[in-house]
Amino acid sequence: MCGIVGYIGHKDAWPIIVKGLKRLEYRGYDSAGIALVSQEISCYKKIGKVADLEAFAKGKTLAGRVGIGHTRWATHGEPSDRNAHPHLSGDGRLAIVHNGIIENYAPLKEELASRGHVFRSDTDTEVLVHLIADILKEEKTDLLEAVRLALTQVVGAYAIVVADREHPDQLVAARKGSPMVIGIGEEEYFIASDASPIIEYTRNVVYLKDQEIAFINADGMLIKTIHNEVQTPYVQQLEMQLEMLEKAGYDHFMLKEIHEQPRSIRDCMRGRIYPQAGQVQLGGIKEYAEKLRNADRIIIVACGTSWHAGLVGEYLIEEYARVPVGVEYASEFRYRNPIITERDIVIAISQSGETADTMAAIELAKERGATILGICNVVGSSIPRLTHGGVYTHAGPEIGVASTKAFTAQVTVLTLMALYIAQLRGTLPQSKLVELLSSLQDIPVLVEKALQCDGAAKYIASEIKDKTNAIFLGRGIGFPVALEGALKLKEISYIHAEGYPAAEMKHGPIALIDEEMPVVVIATQNSSYEKVISNIQEVKARKGRIIAIVTEGDTAVKALADYVIEIPDADEAFLPLLATIPLQLLSYYTACMRGCNVDQPRNLAKSVTVE
């Protein structure tokens, strides 16, 4: 949830860490802090955003070529100056930044308090730095060993960086369940929760693995496991471009990312479809073709927007590959005793590749013998390493907390997987595969056309911006689109919104409909078209305000709806890739008109790395 930046080298640390924290602010933004290390540790932290920290530190001593920084999404302790990171040990010798949760902090805190430790915050993180300091003193060891021994006593998830006043030329970093990447420069090192703060300085990075600890100083880097086994670092080359992390003239990252979808969908398909031959090639799961061909069932596990993408995948895989599919919330799946066999395929979906509940679901399914495939956007993240195989979405960095291009990229990959499995199982005629893949190849152009609804979305937003509730309705493959549209509206505009299958409206939600209720209906010309028109009539009879997403040229729904947004005509299978676009824009403009922080909505963070 939180963002970590560390630097050790020959440059001033403060500006590097501040810039890095701004790039990671999508991970958490209720408080921020930086500790600089020289002869003493200078620690500055402030509730609010990184800009508030900058203002607070203006005019203060900011010298130091070693430092650690943090931008927080609160888990233990309310957002405040005293709960902001970094946290110091009781003697002020150590400073720590931490992403994750220490589950057994309470008994550790009680034990440390009995030995005279005094705590100044409500956080679990402060307990950890006191524990490290206690071991350092009692065991008379070095910082690396003290961190290692402390982590053997810790239950939970963490990514940490620790600085030491007595050794200002070194940092120790470690991870378990939360991401951490180390950039290797010229006689300098950069530490961060993801690569976005690093790409400006170096493309050479090492992704720490679970339960690995890195000791870093000017002379180099040593990596050990928590069990004291020395590891050989695997240096990778970053593929992202620096300009991907900038707004490129857009007012918000979210709007930029909405408009990047023609490119991101095209990149997702590149080198994977051959329409004239009617073939799909997915190298990351090719090794498991036989498993897919003979699978009894496919289980999709995901959270939030990724779960909605999974529902689209369920429709497509069952329709084309004729395999039973179940879609599970990862957070619920892991706490059940699900029936899983060796003939099951589990597909785990996560934009960040670090979603804690999804990783736990993967571990459970692996224990039961299932084959695990991943769909992920972030190269080098945890989920691709946990799964047997998988497919990257290649959507590029997504900075806006509300997922847009990641959703359509996930849907694109699931579409490819559905057709790939159909190809393996022989459930579609070759002529149908050629037809579908040819149509899919045209989708980026149609998405560009769908983005031209910008003006209509902005006008409708002005009409609903003062509403307090909204309902989204869809049938068939349009139902997950309705769910995703409702989620977008509620998470960035704070209007309460719910998505329903259109036919379920009369089983309860219809009681909510009156002249104040906007009802957004996915009403494109597909196999459910006539039924959806009937549902619209039911809403109109109760004075609901209809906002309809229709196929270009539609006349029947236009005659009934109060507001209409047209999207290009396409095969029903690709409806989610087009109908989602106006819903994203509608949510975006509604949030802007309500004065909401679009890129960083309250209480939310991009990557949910804690349970």
* Paired tokens of 387: 């799964």
Final residue before a domain boundary, out of 189, 211, 238: 238
Residue 16 DSSP SS3: helix
**pLDDT at res. 608:** 65
Q: Does residue 422 sit in the same domain as residue 485?
A: no
Quickly state the pLDDT bin for 397 (edges 50, 70, 90): confident
Within a domain: 605: no
- pLDDT of residue 242 exceeding 70, the answer is no
Within a domain: 279: yes
Quickly state the pLDDT bin for 586 (edges 50, 70, 90): very high
Q: Does residue 427 sit in the same domain as residue 351?
A: yes
CA distances from 37 to 4, 166, 359, 500 (A): 16, 9, 35, 54
Within a domain: 170: yes
Q: Does residue 95 sit in the same domain as residue 186?
A: yes
Looking up residue 32, the CATH number of its domain turns out to be 3.60.20.10
Mean pLDDT on 110-121: 93
Residue for token pair 């060891």: 141
Give 104-167 as a DSSP string: THHHHHHHHHHTT----SS-HHHHHHHHHHHHHHHHT--HHHHHHHHHTT--EEEEEEEEETT-
CB 388 within 8 A of CB 372: yes
In this predicted model, what pLDDT tens digit does every residue of 229-239 receive, in sequence order?
999 988 988 87
**pLDDT at res. 109:** 93
Per the structure, the complete domain to which residue 504 belongs is given by 450-599
CA distances from 91 to 132, 134, 142, 166 (A): 12, 10, 16, 11
Within a domain: 84: yes
- pLDDT of residue 245 exceeding 80, the answer is no
Mean pLDDT on 575-582: 97
**pLDDT at res. 610:** 56
Within a domain: 610: no
How does the average pLDDT of the chain come out, rounded? 93
- pLDDT of residue 353 exceeding 90, the answer is no
Instruction: Report the candidate in 342, 418, 339 with the shortest Cα–Cα distance to residue 375.
Output: 418
Q: Does residue 279 sit in the same domain as residue 141?
A: no
- pLDDT of residue 65 exceeding 80, the answer is yes
Mean pLDDT on 493-521: 91
Spatial separation of the C-alpha atoms in residues 422 and 367, rounded to whole Å: 28
Spatial separation of the C-alpha atoms in residues 321 and 347, rounded to whole Å: 15
Quickly state the pLDDT bin for 552 (edges 50, 70, 90): very high
Q: Does residue 357 sit in the same domain as residue 476?
A: no
- pLDDT of residue 218 exceeding 80, the answer is no
**pLDDT at res. 194:** 86
**pLDDT at res. 110:** 93
Q: Does residue 102 sit in the same domain as residue 139?
A: yes
CB 590 within 8 A of CB 598: no
Within a domain: 283: yes
Give 238-282 as a DSSP string: ----GGGGS-TT-SSHHHHHHHTHHHHHHHHHTTTEETTTTEE--
Final residue before a domain boundary, out of 192, 208, 238: 238
Q: Does residue 221 sit in the same domain as residue 265?
A: no
CB 53 within 8 A of CB 34: yes
- pLDDT of residue 67 exceeding 60, the answer is yes
* Paired tokens of 119: 């705590």
Query: What is the number of structural domains in the chain?
Result: 3
**pLDDT at res. 506:** 82
Spatial separation of the C-alpha atoms in residues 583 and 266, rounded to whole Å: 21
- pLDDT of residue 340 exceeding 70, the answer is yes
Mean pLDDT on 335-343: 91
Helix 575-593 and helix 405-425, axial crossing angle in degrees, nearest 10: 170
Looking up residue 396, the CATH number of its domain turns out to be 3.40.50.10490
- pLDDT of residue 478 exceeding 90, the answer is yes
Q: Does residue 188 sit in the same domain as residue 253?
A: no
Does 303 participate in catalysis according to the annotation? no
Within a domain: 607: no
- pLDDT of residue 173 exceeding 90, the answer is yes
Does 488 participate in catalysis according to the annotation? no
Q: Does residue 197 sit in the same domain as residue 216?
A: yes
Quickly state the pLDDT bin for 399 (edges 50, 70, 90): confident
In this predicted model, what pLDDT tens digit does every residue of 401-425 receive, in sequence order?
899 999 999 999 999 999 999 999 9
Q: Does residue 489 sit in the same domain as residue 420?
A: no
CB 185 within 8 A of CB 199: no
Catalytic residue among 109, 176, 291, 606: 606
Pick the more confident residue, 242 or 202. 202
CB 584 within 8 A of CB 4: no
- pLDDT of residue 545 exceeding 60, the answer is yes
Cis peptide before 324 (omega within 30 of 0): no
Residue 3 identity (one-letter amino acid): G
Mean pLDDT on 234-246: 75
Give 312-345 as a DSSP string: HHHHHHHHHH---EEEEEHHHHTTS-----TTEE
Query: Alpha helix (H) ranges present in 368-509?
Result: 382-386, 405-425, 430-441, 443-450, 454-464, 478-493
Residue for token pair 């993240």: 381
**pLDDT at res. 410:** 98
Instruction: Report the candidate in 106, 146, 152 with the shortest Cα–Cα distance to residue 126.
Output: 106
Catalytic residue among 2, 43, 268, 303: 2
Lowest mean pLDDT among 69-83, 261-275, 421-435: 69-83
Give 31-50 as a DSSP string: EEEEEEESSSEEEEEEES-H
**pLDDT at res. 345:** 97
Mean pLDDT on 535-560: 92
Within a domain: 244: no
**pLDDT at res. 12:** 94
- pLDDT of residue 380 exceeding 80, the answer is no
CB 177 within 8 A of CB 382: yes
**pLDDT at res. 527:** 84
Q: Does residue 224 sit in the same domain as residue 287?
A: no
Final residue before a domain boundary, out of 406, 441, 476: 441
Mean pLDDT on 603-610: 67
**pLDDT at res. 74:** 78
Quickly state the pLDDT bin for 609 (edges 50, 70, 90): low
Q: Does residue 217 sit in the same domain as residue 257?
A: no
According to DSSP, the β-strands at 545-551 and 496-501 are unpaired
- pLDDT of residue 328 exceeding 80, the answer is yes
**pLDDT at res. 611:** 56
CB 611 within 8 A of CB 331: yes
Residues 6 or more apart from 546 whose CB is under 8 A from it?
519, 521, 536, 539, 540, 560, 561, 562, 563
Mean pLDDT on 15-25: 93
Spatial separation of the C-alpha atoms in residues 585 and 453, rounded to whole Å: 8
